[in-house]
Structure 1
Amino acid sequence: MSLDVGLSLPGDKPARQGIWTVTPLHAVVAVFMAAIMLRGILPFNVDISWWLIVCERILDGQRLYVDILETNPPMAGSVYMLGVVVARAIGMRPEVVTNGLIFLLIAASLALTWRALLFSSLRERAGGAFAVWAATVLTIVPMYDFGQREHLALVVLLPAVAVYILRANRERVAPSAMLIAGLCAATTMNIKPYFVFGAGFCILTAAAQARDWRVLFAPENWIAAVLVVIHALCIVAFYPEYFTLIYPLVRDVYLLANLPLLVLLRTSAATLWWLTIMATLTLQSRRQKMDTAVLVMMAGSLGFAISFFVQAKGWGYHAYPMVALGLLAAGWAVAAGRDAEAGSRRLRVCAMLLVALIFLGACLRFNVSPDTRFIRQEVTRTGPRPKILMLSAANDIGHPMVRELGGTWVSRQQALWVREVVRQSLRDGIIDQAAADRLAGYVARERAGLIEDFRKQPPDVIVIDNQNSDWGSWATADPELSALLSPYIPVKNIDGIEILRRADQPRS
């Protein structure tokens, strides 16, 4: 039995025939299988778990930005709606269906990307080992952040990136590829406005590389622009509260949690990105002219880096597109370097080793998740399918725990972050007391929503976070909240996380 590892996808002839011929398509399938098994090991992401709750509530008749407090635009949650709808239709858990749909999306994105490059001069590089590398970056690297909006944004954008590369190379673009690229770029930018930097930098680089300003006005760019405008008009028409309620809250409170640029530059995510760019440049350093595809992908990586710094939170998943697109550029540079006449083999091997280390570092960085097993075990003992209310600004304590227990999330928001952001900003000197007093209305509105949710659906279990803040003393000092908490008794205190249950509820 012979084993033939070729560099071909369907349509390519393997290097030699054997009883068992392994092509990159087989390797891509193997990568997907490994990634699917990884989903069974890693915990479900906290934010996606919350968005599934949001989607379920919307389907049950609640209104986004009125009955549900969320700072992201509607598209950010709409991407998970299909998973909930299909799960309800077939009677499966939304988490399983959502993961399955994301894998289908990745497969479709890779297929469309390769299809766009099929009849170009880049066909062999796109359809060989790079396809396996791309599958690995899209399915394995996200780790705990698999399915996050940033992950989906890059997955959706890849067919458009392929078209931008063709534009930069002055190659023919099929009408179907233009349409798909426009749809993909628009979807990415509609998920979060910040992603305009990622798509925009690719377009600008393609025009500069082609030395043709008309690339800026290519059909796919018009399609994307029109769809983005339509999406914005739909938000104005159907979600006016996003501008009247959410935008002022984001402007006045949410942005106070932004980190300084110097702090962001020292994060591990930023370090990974810098190393990726260095490795890619090293792989291209001996070439007389930098590869066009590498340039476009590096430009997109830079654009997503700007979105990372503009969002200014330093969260790992915010960095995924810039790191992943940088890794894709490095992988393409490795493929392009095979046919370079001049170059140092030692330098090339060192750069490839650095890329491998960055890959491992990225997997570790994007696998950071909290361990809430002990909290979940104690909540489980309070009874089946509990209704849970949490007094905390930490969103990763209650999620995905509430869904894993088959429980009900009582609050209208993922976590009580408004009071905490104002409190910490005052403590750290970001705002003064006068500014805190001006923001007191937002804090009072959050408190009023908490009390309304409490009364509307009295919880079975209350989780109070005294580890990261003073939620226990804050609630005790509030006469209304203190009265609402009086029927509850302490069950367990786990490193400052206090768990309470109703006194009339038997303990399991």
Structure 2
Amino acid sequence: MDGCAIEPDAIGSARALRNPMSIEAKVAALAAATLAIAIQTLWIPIDADVSWLITVCERVLSGDRLYIDILEVNPPASVWLYLPLVWLAKTIGTRPEAVVAAGFVAGGLASAFTTLRIASRLDVPRARPFLACALPFIALVLPMALFAQREHAAVLLALPVLAAVAVIAEGGRLNRRAVAASGFAAGLIVIIKPYFLLAVAIPALWTAWKRRSVTPLVPGLIAGGLAIALYVAGILLFAPAYLAWLPVIAHTYGPMHESWWKLLLAPTFYPAICIGLLMMLRPDKVPVLAMSWILGAAGFLLATFAQAKNYPNHLLPEAALALAAAAAVLDLPGVVRGRRLPVSLALAFVGACQMYQWVILPDPAVASAIKRVAPPTPSMIALSPQLTTGHPVTRNVDGRWVGSRAGLFTASGAAHAGLKDPIARDAYREDVDSFGRDVAAHSPDVVLVSRAAKKSLMREPSIAAAMSPYRPAAVTKDTEVWVRRSLKR
């Protein structure tokens, strides 16, 4: 790969980024890792999505067939991302939540230090410790309840990948092996969610434009294409049933979207503030590292618009990259001295607001009610269109999920899309009937019933018949806990 040499004085004067193991980076990494572990252990449990995917992994490892015996609305990568960690937990005999959290803590540290090491190849006149301190907190603490979500994994990959893109854009030295590794990681980002292609494609196109050539990107493009090709082969070999599921997703999950004014406002709010604060620093020019992250944030933002759901986890990647870009500009010596401190404090406040927004806790009353009226380690299912009715509470009470899906989400999407559509109508009926089949096959001890959806769902004859052996035993704000009538009061 062609590149430009970095002057010796530039190398010597940028030690904080040249040495990713600087004291600032070490202290920040230790503090962030400690805080992340404390948050996940003592305050915020693994969230509903991750809890459900852990359950899916356990079922797959026990022999269930994905998209046949156990149904997940997302592509196989959503399950395979956690499968090695859940397998490890099963092998060593510990809780999967602990292994997943530990794996993401390790990944966050690796992401921060790899990003700093790659950034050390940029031609920075003088380095300051802002980025070295910010990255571990962005990677480990900022996600809060979104910790270990697929979007969190995408952020951990995107930080070093887009740093490598910045080095290439500047013409810095990055050997072919490093470019290929970055490209493979970029492919993994796309595998996590195909929408995320925008987050790597936009910075790559910008780099090709700056270099007036695509040649420096070729090893990465090949490696990224290889990663995606391997994933496609994996689907064909190990999860071909997913392909038959795609039309159902398109006709049920696809049409569900947030109102457009909310969709435009929520994802752009924090990134726009970060970019505004960045410009308040009045840099002579936005450095390539910050620009690469800004363009990546723009790609993630477009991906959020394309998904059109406005779920909190969808907002994380663009917010994290915009915050990292602002931190990178704080390191520049050319910014107005009197603006550095107030902008730093403002960015810290923005980060704190994001963390507060992402403090998502399950209702403890549901777990208490289950423990009060159900037998120990109960078998469980949910009569609800929402995944959050049954997860993570099932795992939090040491329950055993016996449903073939997380909830009647497909039926909800089909009803939203309109049952005049034959594919949506068939999907609705199959999803509703699956509840009766699961109850008949497994006779769960507990059925968690969504109070908001109870009336409409109980009109279905198959559901009403399946619920006849059960009685309500406890009520919380959003959930009713039903148990088998044969259980003693």
1:239 is matched by which residue type in structure 2? A
Query: In structure 2, what is the Cα distance between the partners aligned to 1:7 and 1:82?
Result: 37
8 Å CA contact 1:198, 1:303 repeated in 2: yes
Task: Give the structure 2 partner of residue 365 of structure 1.
Answer: 357
Deviations 1:139-169 (A, max 9, x none): 1100000000000011023222121011111
Matched, 1:112 2:114: yes
SS in 1 for 2:486: coil
Pairing 1:387-398 to 2, within 5 Å after superposition = 387-398=379-390
Q: 1:434 to 1:27 in 2, by over 3 A?
A: closer
Matched, 1:281 2:279: yes
SS in 2 for 1:254: coil
SS in 2 for 1:133: helix
Matched residue pairs, number?
Answer: 474
Q: 1:461 to 1:13 in 2, by over 3 A?
A: closer
Q: Which has the higher contact order (CA 8 A, sep 6+)?
A: 2
SS in 2 for 1:185: helix
Which one of the candidate residues 433, 438, 441 is aligned to 1:456? 441
Matched, 1:502 2:484: yes
1:330 is matched by which residue type in structure 2? A
Query: In structure 2, what is the Cα distance between the partners aligned to 1:64 and 1:12?
Result: 41
Pairing 1:232-247 to 2, within 5 Å after superposition = 232-244=232-244, 246-247=245-246
Task: Give the structure 1 partner of residue 457 of structure 2.
Answer: 474
Shift of 1:399: 0.7
Shift of 1:119: 4.5
TM-score, normalised via structure 1 length: 0.87
Task: Give the structure 2 partner of residue 192 of structure 1.
Answer: 193
SS in 2 for 1:310: helix
Shift of 1:120: 4.3
Q: Which runs of 5+ in 1 are unaligned?
A: 1-5, 15-21, 426-430
SS in 2 for 1:434: coil
Q: 1:24 to 1:384 in 2, by over 3 A?
A: same
**RMSD over aligned Cα atoms:** 2.4
Query: In structure 2, what is the Cα distance between the partners aligned to 1:32 and 1:434?
Result: 51
Q: Which runs of 5+ in 2 are unaligned?
A: 1-13
Deviations 1:403-425 (A, max 9, x none): 11111112111121122233345
Q: 1:26 to 1:349 in 2, by over 3 A?
A: closer
Which one of the candidate residues 95, 98, 111 is aligned to 1:96? 98
Shift of 1:439: 2.4
Query: In structure 1, what is the Cα distance between the partners aligned to 2:456 and 2:110?
Result: 52
Q: 1:90 to 1:419 in 2, by over 3 A?
A: same
Query: In structure 1, what is the Cα distance between the partners aligned to 2:193 and 2:341?
Result: 38
Query: In structure 2, what is the Cα distance between the partners aligned to 1:232 and 1:496?
Result: 40
Shift of 1:94: 0.5
Query: In structure 2, what is the Cα distance between the partners aligned to 1:69 and 1:390?
Result: 14
Q: 1:160 to 1:13 in 2, by over 3 A?
A: closer
SS in 2 for 1:326: helix
Shift of 1:32: 1.3
Query: In structure 2, what is the Cα distance between the partners aligned to 1:473 and 1:199?
Result: 43
Matched, 1:37 2:28: no
2:68 is matched by which residue type in structure 1? V
8 Å CA contact 1:66, 1:241 repeated in 2: yes
Matched, 1:301 2:297: yes
SS in 1 for 2:480: strand
Q: 1:438 to 1:96 in 2, by over 3 A?
A: closer
Which one of the candidate residues 67, 70, 73 is aligned to 1:68? 70
Query: In structure 2, what is the Cα distance between the partners aligned to 1:281 and 1:9?
Result: 22
Matched, 1:121 2:123: yes
Deviations 1:286-312 (A, max 9, x none): 41x321111111001101111111111
Task: Give the structure 2 partner of residue 3 of structure 1.
Answer: none
Q: 1:212 to 1:374 in 2, by over 3 A?
A: same
8 Å CA contact 1:7, 1:23 repeated in 2: no
Shift of 1:327: 0.4
Query: In structure 2, what is the Cα distance between the partners aligned to 1:30 and 1:7?
Result: 21
Q: 1:290 to 1:189 in 2, by over 3 A?
A: same
Task: Give the structure 2 partner of residue 316 of structure 1.
Answer: 312
Query: In structure 1, what is the Cα distance between the partners aligned to 2:21 and 2:98?
Result: 36
Shift of 1:448: 2.2
Shift of 1:240: 2.1
Task: Give the structure 1 partner of residue 60 of structure 2.
Answer: 58
8 Å CA contact 1:42, 1:143 repeated in 2: yes
1:318 is matched by which residue type in structure 2? H
Pairing 1:15-30 to 2, within 5 Å after superposition = 23-30=24-31
8 Å CA contact 2:131, 2:328 repeated in 1: yes
Which segment is superposed worse, 100-109 or 415-424?
Answer: 415-424
Which segment is superposed worse, 351-360 or 30-39?
Answer: 351-360
